[in-house]
Amino acid sequence: MTKRCLRCGAARVAQGHHVLGRGADGNYVSPEILAALCSPDCHQVGIHQLLAKAGIDGPLEPTPGVLVGRIGCFLGWLAWPHHGELVVPDLIEVPGSLLVEIADVLARISRELLTRDHVAR
C-alpha cells in the first residue's frame, strides 16, 4: 500500500511531519510521532507556514502550551478546506496509530497540568 499525504491524498509523500516539532535543543520532541505529508506543498508551504504564523514553529521549549498549540494547528489544518475549496472535507483518513500517539501526549500534558493545579492549591 502506497503512503499518501494525509492532507491532499497525493502519493508523493517525501517525508513525515514531526507533529510535536523540535525542542529548544533542536532535537525532535517525539520523533516517532510522524504524519505522512507531501513535500513541499503540504509540508513546508502548508503546516510549517501555519505554525510560523502561530509563533510555534522552529526549536522551542516543549511546554504544554507549545505542544498543545502544535497539535491543535496540525489537526485543524488537516480539516481546513484545501487549495481554494470552500468547504471542509467530510472525511479525513488518519492512521489510528497517529491518533493514539497524539492522544497519549495530550493525556500526559493533562496529567502534568492537573498535578501543577493540585500542587498550587
Identify the pLDDT of residue 87.
Answer: 67
CB 68 within 8 A of CB 60: no
Output the tens digit of pLDDT for each of the chain's 121 residues. 457 888 888 887 767 889 999 999 999 999 999 998 887 778 777 888 889 999 999 899 999 999 999 999 999 888 877 666 666 777 788 889 999 999 999 999 999 999 887 776 6
Closest CA to 44 of 25, 32, 57: 57
- The domain spans of the chain are 13-120
Closest CA to 105 of 63, 76, 73, 77: 63
Identify the pLDDT of residue 86.
Answer: 63
d(CA 37, CA 14): 7
